[in-house]
Amino acid sequence: MTALDDLPEVESFFGIDLKTGSMIIAAIGVVHPMAYGCSFFMPMSYLLVTIWILVALFFASSIVLFCGLAKNDALLCTIWVWYAVIFVVIMLMMMILLALVFTSRKQRSRVFVVIMGILWYILTIYFILVVNTHRKRLGEAEANNSTELKDLRKANAIYKEDNE
């Protein structure tokens, strides 16, 4: 049992089944870094560079999530969930810092964009719950399959002993 097993479960992704919802979340994770392209024309700061690095790693973890969903692999989904949990916490802190910087410079339009980013990362918490619930169900299915396989092997061994 891991800490991820203690997270709440959801039944669907806005009314869509969990696997399809997880695929949509992975697609959003791949497209998401393109939103930071507009910050390329801003003056460079360590804060923005840190955000770019974190978002690039989120892109990579979303590719891992795609692979995990395609192969029905709970471990690859777990990698995405762990990174997303860390990513959301750090990005919320970064967005708050960015909002403070833009507020001190009296740049209202940029503060509005940052507030939208904060709301987006709060929504990402729901995305984490969706993928984590799907991961749990994949893990349960794998456990059931391995138990059934063991039972079949035992039955086969008993059958061979009886026929010999």
Q: Which of 86, 96, 22 is nearest to 54 (CA)?
A: 86
Give the pLDDT of residue 150.
64
| Average pLDDT score over residue span 95-116 | 87
Task: Find the helix or strand (DSSP H, E) in which 162 lies.
Answer: helix 108-163
Residue with the bigger pLDDT between 38 and 13: it is 13
Residue with the bigger pLDDT between 86 and 159: it is 86
Q: What percent of the chain has pLDDT over 70?
A: 80
Query: 81-93: b or e for each residue (b if 16 or more CB lie within 10 Å)?
Result: bbbbbebbeebbe
Helix, strand, coil in percent for the chain, rounding step 5 = 85, 0, 15
Quote the pTM value. 0.75
Confidence of residue 117 (pLDDT cuts 50, 70, 90): confident
What's the pLDDT tens digit per position in 54-69? Answer: 888 989 999 999 999 8
CA–CA separation, 30 vs 73, rounded Å? 19
Size (the chain), residues? 164
Query: 43-78: b or e for each residue (b if 16 or more CB lie within 10 Å)?
Result: eeeeebeebeebbeebeebbebbbebbeeebbebbb
| Average pLDDT score over residue span 123-137 | 89
Give the pLDDT of residue 137.
85
